Amino acid sequence: MSVRTNRESSFYYFEHPTMQGLCACLENWRIAEDGKHIRFISIQKDHEAFCCIVLAECQSFLTEEEAKKRQEEMARFQRKALKRIGKAVEFSSEYIEPGIIQEIQTKLKICETAAEVRSVFLEMSQK
């Protein structure tokens, strides 16, 4: 595993020989850097390694406008999910972290009612 940071730009670089290992690196980083908001992520294969660049910033630096946009996007995601109960709804947003979207999609697969879908979004909106 390799991790390098540039403190001024909030870019993070990860690499690992396997995609599964890279995923584990990112998950460990996400847990350790709980206050970080992922703005962009790119994964590419470079020779024999999988490489990832993440642009992140502290959530405390989110502007009021960005927080409002995130809430609007979560509401839009929830409306879409309520129309497709029991399925992992495809969704992307620059205001919701990719890890949060993925976690919501995983939880939506096992929802059987609208109340369960709303519960997922209530829980995840607090993250």
Q: Give 76's pLDDT tier (boundaries 50, 70, 90).
A: very high
**Helix (H) or strand (E) run with residue 64 in it:** helix 64-82
Q: Give 9's pLDDT tier (boundaries 50, 70, 90).
A: very low
Q: Give 127's pLDDT tier (boundaries 50, 70, 90).
A: low
pTM passes above 0.75: no
Residues whose CB falls within 8 Å of the CB of residue 56, separated by 6 or more in sequence, listed in order:
10, 12, 33, 36, 37, 38, 39
Q: Give 59's pLDDT tier (boundaries 50, 70, 90).
A: low
Report the share of the chain in percent with pLDDT over 90: 35
Give the separation between CA 7 and CA 65, rounded to whole angstroms: 25
Give the separation between CA 91 and CA 35, rounded to whole angstroms: 23
Taking phi over 0 as left and psi of -120 to 50 as alpha, with beta for the rest, 24 belongs to alpha
CA distances from 96 to 43, 62, 89, 125 (A): 18, 12, 14, 10
Q: Give 29's pLDDT tier (boundaries 50, 70, 90).
A: confident
